[in-house]
Amino acid sequence: MKETLNQIAEKIRKNFEACDKGRERAFFLHREIIKRSSQAIRAVHRGEYPEGQKLVDEAKSLLMEATQSVAQFPRVAFAGFLEDAQKEYVEAWLTLTVIAYQTVPNPDEVGVEYSAFLNGLAETVGELRRHILDLIRQGQAEKGEQFLQYMDEIFYVLTGLDFPDMITNGLRRRTDIARSIIEKTRGDLTACLSQNQLLKEMKKIGG
């Protein structure tokens, strides 16, 4: 039976209502994901790794729910805000795993777009700099070298993936920022290690 114009309009209205409901739910969850991710990063920098893991797990669950809520509506799913939430989640997850466990998770394991994973990876460089500065203040500058190596490894990976921004979603700009952060951190860490070595030599001379 051929549909009337009113029937077609009603079908479209119901589809739009479902899409709008999914969008509102996903956008609410997007804010919650960013909140949990930020809290997780703060917990990691305080050395509260179990709390950081709990918050990262919560963010992952919220991200899965947000993705499911707009799965039937590609225009909403790829509007940008959901990938931004993925990026924030990745940054928190990577900050936790690199600092607490010295490992890097696979993007397929965490269930995010590759571009979101790479952009989160780039922003993790800033969190690693913060961790190294904390180690320097705590008199543990030597431990900072392994995290500087992680920063270098991240940078080399990012520079090897030079594709248009339409594909990588702004990765080139974040890679440039990461380069600047790494060089500044290298200078700070080298200066501290050199000073520590000088003090050791002076103590030897002083007997």
Q: Where are the domains of the chain?
A: 1-107, 113-207
pLDDT given for residue 204 in this prediction: 67
pLDDT given for residue 207 in this prediction: 55
Same-fold call for 1-107 versus 113-207: yes
Q: Which class is domain 113-207? A: mainly alpha
DSSP SS3 for 100:
helix
* Mean pLDDT (whole number) for 59-64: 91
Q: Which residue has the tokens 């900050």?
A: 95
- Would you identify the CATH topology of the domain 1-107? Methane Monooxygenase Hydroxylase; Chain G, domain 1 (1.20.58)
Q: Taking 80 as the threshold, does the pLDDT of residue 81 lie above it? A: no
- State both tokens at 82: 């959901």
pLDDT tens digit sequence for 193-204: 888 777 676 766
Q: Taking 60 as the threshold, does the pLDDT of residue 88 lie above it? A: yes
- State both tokens at 129: 């700099």
Helix axes 49-69, 81-96, angle to 10 degrees: 160
Which residue, 155, 173, 177, is CA-closest to 165? Answer: 173
